[in-house]
């Protein structure tokens, strides 16, 4: 089969790879229809993720068609987070905290390929007429929805009343802004250092757009800050921009540098939440939000063939695309 393989720092190759082994009982063979390029794939591409060791097929935001078993021919969305299903966290619906969790495209082969084998329990039903590129947004949408849901649990007032800030106009940031808007937030700000992404954010009205390198909003002016970047600089900005008694939700994993002002968080009773992936409930809610149009037209995503994957990685790396998400088609 053809696959896009991460072979070294800033290097991916579109090449012939062995087809997946015959699926075992409880496993499904999928023909991949679409797979989104994630920021974590870029982290590996930059040689910054020790968990993703080349050569490795990346990609986990996938949709496809089942090729075996009772569900043969069914179009599905993949839940790429594989958990044990029997530990305390799994039994309480928090599969993202499972100590035995795995993610396809991390140590296991991913979905930047024509085919993949995944556990049948990780297949989510997909509406028959759903656009496959839109369906591939399920996973990043679930990440963003999970962030917002965590914030809602601790806010003193309904989130629709909150003045909100999203740092980063990649897919997670954009989808977080759209989720906030869908919940009635009228004051959503979104910051990004890339002029092309800012232009996209302005074109599709993701919120009040600004450049963090030139002028940040007034300090202490946001009830909610969602950091979809996760760098020392963005943690410092989050610490500065959040209101006393506000909430910071940290979803990005760019680096672990200093930046968080724990003294201010303590003195101003700011709640800091780490947010990692999603639950199955988040994924199901995301399918509904996308399919029902709650998040808008999604015209801002870019579609490319998998054979052009090398250029897609390079374009994101060089900051020459304004698309928050590139979806690759085998």
Q: Are residues 133 and 168 in the same domain?
A: no
Tell me, yes or no, whether 281 lies in a domain. Answer: no
Tell me, yes or no, whether 296 lies in a domain. Answer: no
Predicted pLDDT of residue 226: 98
Q: Are residues 265 and 205 in the same domain?
A: yes
Tell me, yes or no, whether 295 lies in a domain. Answer: no
Radius of gyration of the chain (CA): 19
> What pairs with residue 303 in β-bridges?
327
pLDDT, average across residues 79-84: 98
pLDDT, average across residues 320-328: 97
The CATH number for 216's domain is: 3.40.50.720
The crossing angle, in degrees rounded to 10, of helices 171-182 and 138-154 is: 50
Predicted pLDDT of residue 318: 97
171-195 pLDDT, tens digit each: 999 999 999 999 999 999 999 999 9
Instruction: Kindly state the tokens that stand for 324.
Output: 């928050």
115-134 pLDDT, tens digit each: 999 999 999 999 999 999 99
Q: What integer best gives the mean pLDDT of the chain?
A: 97
Provide the pLDDT confidence category of residue 110 given band limits of 50, 70 and 90: very high
Q: Are residues 131 and 145 in the same domain?
A: no
Predicted pLDDT of residue 166: 98
More reliable by pLDDT, 5 or 21: 5
Question: What is the DSSP track for 156-180?
Answer: SS-GGG-EEEEE--SHHHHHHHHHH
Domain of 107 in residue numbering reads as 2-137+301-329
Q: What is the share, in percent, of the chain residues with pLDDT greater than 70?
A: 100
The CATH number for 131's domain is: 3.90.180.10
Tell me, yes or no, whether 285 lies in a domain. Answer: no
DSSP-derived 3-state class of residue 88: helix
Sign of CA dihedral 34, 40, 44, 45: positive
Tell me, yes or no, whether 36 lies in a domain. Answer: yes
In total, how many domains does the chain have?
Answer: 2
149-167 pLDDT, tens digit each: 999 999 999 999 999 999 9
52-65 pLDDT, tens digit each: 999 999 999 999 99
Q: Are residues 116 and 171 in the same domain?
A: no
Provide the pLDDT confidence category of residue 97 given band limits of 50, 70 and 90: very high
Tell me, yes or no, whether 120 lies in a domain. Answer: yes
List the one residue out of 15, 12, 32 whose CA is nearest residue 328.
32
Q: Are 4 and 14 in contact (CB under 8 A)?
A: yes
Q: Are 2 and 307 in contact (CB under 8 A)?
A: yes
Euclidean distance between CA atoms 14 and 30, whole angstroms: 19
Provide the pLDDT confidence category of residue 111 given band limits of 50, 70 and 90: very high
Euclidean distance between CA atoms 264 and 319, whole angstroms: 33
Q: Are residues 26 and 128 in the same domain?
A: yes
The predicted model scores a pTM of 0.97
Q: Are residues 23 and 50 in the same domain?
A: yes
């Amino acid at each position: 089969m053809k696959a896009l393989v991460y072979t070294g720092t800033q290097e991916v190759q579109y090449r012939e790879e062995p087809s997946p082994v015959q699926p075992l009982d409880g496993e499904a063979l999928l023909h991949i229809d679409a797979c989104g390029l994630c920021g974590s794939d870029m982290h590996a591409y930059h040689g910054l993720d020790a968990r993703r060791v080349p050569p490795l097929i990346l990609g986990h935001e996938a949709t496809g068609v089942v090729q075996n078993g009772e569900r043969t021919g069914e179009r599905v969305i993949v839940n790429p987070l594989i958990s044990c299903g029997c530990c305390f966290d799994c039994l309480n619906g928090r599969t993202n905290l499972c100590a035995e969790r795995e993610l396809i495209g991390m140590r296991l082969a991913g979905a930047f390929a024509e085919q993949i084998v995944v556990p049948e329990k990780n297949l989510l039903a997909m509406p028959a007429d759903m656009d496959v590129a839109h369906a591939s947004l399920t996973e990043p949408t679930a990440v963003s929805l999970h962030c917002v849901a965590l914030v809602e649990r601790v806010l003193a007032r309904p989130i629709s009343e909150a003045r909100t800030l999203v740092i980063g106009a990649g897919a997670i940031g954009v989808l977080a802004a759209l989720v906030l808007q869908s919940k009635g937030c009228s004051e959503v700000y979104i910051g990004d250092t890339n002029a092309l992404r800012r232009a996209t954010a302005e074109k599709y009205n993701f919120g009040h757009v600004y450049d963090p390198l030139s002028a940040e909003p007034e300090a202490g002016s946001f009830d909610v800050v969602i950091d979809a970047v996760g760098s020392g600089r963005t943690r410092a900005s989050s610490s500065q921009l959040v209101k006393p008694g506000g909430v910071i939700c940290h979803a990005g994993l760019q680096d672990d540098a200093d930046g968080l002002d724990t003294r201010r968080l303590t003195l101003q009773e700011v709640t800091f939440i780490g947010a990692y992936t999603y639950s199955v409930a988040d994924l199901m809610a995301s399918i509904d939000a996308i399919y029902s149009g709650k998040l808008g037209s999604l015209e801002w995503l870019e579609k490319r063939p998998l054979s052009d994957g090398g250029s897609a990685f390079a374009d994101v790396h060089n900051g020459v695309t304004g698309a928050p998400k590139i979806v690759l088609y085998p």
